[in-house]
Amino acid sequence: MTSAILVFLSGCQLSTFFVDKQVKEVYELLDAFYYKPLDFKLKDVSDLEDLFSRLDEPYTYIYEANTRTIEKEEAYDGLGITISDTKEGLLVSSINLDATFEEKIYVYDVITKVNGQALEGLSFTEKQAVLTGKLGDQFDLEILRGTERINITLMIKEIPMKSTTYRYDEKSKIGYIDINRFSNLTATQFTEALQSMESLGLEGLIIDVRDNGGGYLVSVVQIIQLFLSGSEPFLYMVRAYDNRITEYKPYQANTLKDYPVSLLINENSASASEVLAQALNIGIDAPLIGNTTYGKDVYQVSYRLNTFTNETYLNMTQGYWLTKNNESVSGGIKPTIEYTKDDLVSLGFPSYLETFKKEDSSDNLIVYQHLLNEYDNTLEDINHFSTFDELTYDKLKVYQEANGLSATGELDLLTMFSLIDLYHQYLKDPAKDELLNLAYLEMGRLNAN
């Protein structure tokens, strides 16, 4: 008997190819439980890739167990990098900054060979298999970095991956909890962090769900229930195929917190993050600080697939959710306090695709110009972002001379690598997070009132 086993609000994708009996199983599940009627018949479908392309939405896909971020616990065995497919091999699309590496690896590195085997011409699944192993396994990699090919070695290690981190400022008595995903352990960790800070006299709480794409429904519901009281539902989940509505309510006997709460949001805050933000904003008037959220108002359920060799699931969009006011978040949740200035934390990872010199113009310059402003305050700040002006040239030479680089005044690959290392340091420094600093100021204002 087919049954739904997981309900979560998130979005990630893994595409692959399967045989007809598998297409039939997936089609029949979609035909029975998908959130809207299918506008095509099974006989029209050639393979799974064709089937999913007909759905025209990114949240319904097939995945193998324990391959998604939200399924990972507080640590996992891996290389500490996220990869995506590219013609030459595997593109490093992100790096776990809490991981330790014997040799440096950067976002936008392209892995072209693994243990001497060229990756070009292989399928994405085949490329992934070459990098699969057990704890302690080593991989000798050829990397295409900019225009250079280099060799490095990576090892499968235990990689930390906490879904929540927190800190408490003893002077202001303001606490900060960052939630990067809603995993099975997130609510427990959040509760423990909150109780720890409350025992120290917590007088204000900042919850950070920037760049949090969602996760398990049960986790976000349990967190919301820590803050709300009463008998009115704060969330409605609408199962589309039979129009079943499930209500989620606070614990009626809850005592409301005696301190203010605010949330940091951005354009990548989605699904469960939006549930949390909207519920606390409506329920306890928690200010939302940042930028308009993603606007994902649908939810997914996982079904075990029986015709696949490995433990495989269909992640299916099955319905949508509504706020306490019976409203959809389609189009995103607007912040109470909008933050429009770009800072290092809000900018994307620097890329090193080309050398830049005076009078060049490129959006890829912007993050480097911000880094130079942060590094050196002896000169006026660069303001003409994306243009390599005289001030950028002067600041760049100051940086190169101070860091043992050839002081050419050109943003060459070696200088870019050095600035990217600096960028990694700054990402870990709360003082560089202007939006977080704004949230602390707002929390001080709330406490004063």
Q: Are 352 and 417 in contact (CB under 8 A)?
A: yes
Q: Is the pLDDT of residue 449 over 80?
A: no
- What are the pLDDT digits (tens) for 140-183? 999 998 888 999 999 999 888 789 999 999 999 999 999 999 99
The confidence score (pLDDT) of residue 341 equals 66
- Burial class of 19 by CB neighbour count within 10 A (0 to 12, 13 to 18, 19+): exposed
Closest by CA position to 163, among listed 136, 183, 138, 134: 183
What is the set of domains in the chain, with CATH numbers?
A: 75-160 (2.30.42.10), 164-341+433-448 (3.90.226.10), 365-430 (1.10.101)
Q: Is the pLDDT of residue 113 over 90?
A: yes
The counts of H helices and E strands in the chain are 10, 21
- What are the pLDDT digits (tens) for 114-150? 999 999 999 988 998 999 899 999 999 999 988 889 9
Structure tokens at 116: 């001497």
Q: Are 288 and 311 in contact (CB under 8 A)?
A: no
Q: Are 333 and 267 in contact (CB under 8 A)?
A: no
Residue at token pair 């490995």? 310
The confidence score (pLDDT) of residue 4 equals 45
Per cent of the chain over pLDDT 70 is 94
Closest by CA position to 51, among listed 17, 76, 14, 75: 17
**What is the arithmetic mean of pLDDT over 352-374?**
90
The confidence score (pLDDT) of residue 349 equals 79
The confidence score (pLDDT) of residue 7 equals 53
First to last CA, the chain: 57
**What is the arithmetic mean of pLDDT over 61-75?**
79
**What is the arithmetic mean of pLDDT over 66-74?**
74
The confidence score (pLDDT) of residue 17 equals 42
Residue at token pair 């086993």? 5
- What are the pLDDT digits (tens) for 276-326? 999 999 999 999 999 999 999 999 999 999 998 889 999 999 999 999 999
The confidence score (pLDDT) of residue 94 equals 85
Q: Which comes out higher in pLDDT, residue 94 or 247? A: 247
The confidence score (pLDDT) of residue 154 equals 94
The confidence score (pLDDT) of residue 195 equals 97
Name, in order, each residue with C-beta under 8 angstroms of 92's C-beta and a sequence gap of 6 or more.
81, 82, 83, 105, 106, 107, 108, 109, 110, 111
pLDDT-derived band at 15, boundaries 50, 70, 90: very low
Spatial distance between the Cα atoms of 351 and 372, rounded to a whole number of angstroms? 15
Per cent of the chain over pLDDT 90 is 68
pLDDT-derived band at 3, boundaries 50, 70, 90: very low
Q: Is the pLDDT of residue 356 over 90?
A: yes
Q: Are 337 and 288 in contact (CB under 8 A)?
A: yes
pTM summary value = 0.84
**What is the arithmetic mean of pLDDT over 436-449?**
88
Query: Could you please report the per-residue DSSP string of 321-333?
Result: EEETTS---TT-P
Q: Are 252 and 243 in contact (CB under 8 A)?
A: no
Structure tokens at 127: 């490329």
Q: Which residues of 289-325 are buried (b: 16+ CB within 10 A; e: fewer)?
A: bbbbbbbbbbbbbbbebeebeeebbbbbbbbbbbbbe
Q: Is the pLDDT of residue 378 over 90?
A: no
pLDDT-derived band at 342, boundaries 50, 70, 90: low
Q: Are 324 and 282 in contact (CB under 8 A)?
A: yes
Dihedral angle sign, alpha carbons of residues 339, 341, 343, 347: positive
Helix ranges (DSSP H) in 293-389: 365-375
Name, in order, each residue with C-beta under 8 angstroms of 302's C-beta and a sequence gap of 6 or more.
4, 5, 6, 8, 313, 314, 315, 316
Name, in order, each residue with C-beta under 8 angstroms of 427's C-beta and a sequence gap of 6 or more.
97, 344, 345
Spatial distance between the Cα atoms of 13 and 46, rounded to a whole number of angstroms? 20
The confidence score (pLDDT) of residue 1 equals 37
Structure tokens at 221: 């519901």
The confidence score (pLDDT) of residue 8 equals 53
Query: Could you please report the per-residue DSSP string of 124-146?
Result: HHHHHHHT---TT-EEEEEEEET
The chain-wide mean pLDDT, for the chain, equals 90
Helix (H, G, I), strand (E, B) or coil at 91: strand
